[in-house]
């Protein structure tokens, strides 16, 4: 098999994409508060990998097309299910007796279950949201590209994210925290998380153009072309 530049880039982007996706899901149960004056914004640290996922989704959509983006979405979905299965099996394996000693400073049963069982639930809720949101993102991205061609890159990249992340944010937070937080806190978390994603998507617009220029000029790869309608 010939590993040309286009294939090597796809494998690299796919690896980054799945890593950012799974790490974001695993750490997503941690919440922090950002204070802006008298306003306190509650945000999940799962937002940290979001810029990576956003940029990679755009690059894969642009340079490899709809089918490749859908394929990677399904691969990410399967990897998330595999991660959930591994965490489930790991949680059932009994701890060694010496870990019950009073001077043991590593993981014990309670701390392991609290962290990784919570991550497993976050992974499940995120997997449900991810699959729906990614398919919406791909659909909107290529709808805009068919209408406008290669013009207005920022619109198809940011616009698809704004639409898809509305669904993603609502589903993941409802499933993950619906029974743990008050209605007011849940709505505040949804609004804050979505607003932060929109701001990040807009702020990353220069990086989208920089990424496209790097791939086109640095690696000599052309964007995937679609027929305009």
Could you state, in chain order, the average pLDDT of each consecutive group of 10 residues for the chain (229 residues)? 79 92 83 75 79 84 88 91 88 85 81 76 78 86 82 82 84 74 79 83 85 82 63
Q: What are the tokens at 122?
A: 């976050």
User: Can you give the pLDDT at residue 1?
Assistant: 62
Q: Delimit the domains of the chain by residue range.
A: 5-92+108-218
Nearest alpha-carbon partner for 56 in 39, 36, 76 = 76
Our measurement of the distance from residue 56's CA atom to the centroid of its chain's CA atoms, rounded to an integer in Å, reads 10
Report domain 5-92+108-218's class: mainly alpha
CA atoms within 13 A on the CB side of 168: 28
Contact residues for 189 (Cβ-Cβ < 8 A; gap 6+): 31, 42, 43, 44, 173, 177, 181
93, 140, 180, 212 from 112: Cα distances, Å: 11, 40, 20, 42
Q: How far apart are alpha carbons 202 and 158 in whole angstroms? A: 7
Q: Give the CA distances from residue 54 to residues 30, 61, 105, 135, 177, in Å, rounded to whole numbers and listed in that order.
A: 21, 11, 38, 14, 23
What pLDDT, on the 0 to 100 scale, is given for residue 79?
A: 92
- Output DSSP code: residue 93: S
Pairwise CA distance, residues 77 & 44, whole Å: 21
Tokens of residue 183, six digits: 């209605």
């Amino acid at each position: 098999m010939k590993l040309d530049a286009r294939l090597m880039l796809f494998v690299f982007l796919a690896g980054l994409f799945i890593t950012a996706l799974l790490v974001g899901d695993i750490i997503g149960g941690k919440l922090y508060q950002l204070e802006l004056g008298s306003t306190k914004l509650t945000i999940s640290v799962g937002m940290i990998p979001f810029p990576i996922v956003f940029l990679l989704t755009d690059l894969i959509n642009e340079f490899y097309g709809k089918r490749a983006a859908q394929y990677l979405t399904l691969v990410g979905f399967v990897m998330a299910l595999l991660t959930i299965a591994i965490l489930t099996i790991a949680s059932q394996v009994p701890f060694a007796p010496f870990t019950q000693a009073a001077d043991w400073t590593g993981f014990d049963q309670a701390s392991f279950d609290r962290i990784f069982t919570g991550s497993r639930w976050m992974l499940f809720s995120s997997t449900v949201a991810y699959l729906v949101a990614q398919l919406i993102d791909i659909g909107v991205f290529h709808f805009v590209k068919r209408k406008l061609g290669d013009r207005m890159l920022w619109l198809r990249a940011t616009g698809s994210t704004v639409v898809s992340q509305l669904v993603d944010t609502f589903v993941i937070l409802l499933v993950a925290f619906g029974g743990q937080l008050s209605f007011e806190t849940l709505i505040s978390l949804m609004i804050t998380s979505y607003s932060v994603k929109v701001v990040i998507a807009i702020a990353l617009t220069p990086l989208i153009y920089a990424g496209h220029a790097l791939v086109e000029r640095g690696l000599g790869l052309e964007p995937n072309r679609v027929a305009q309608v």
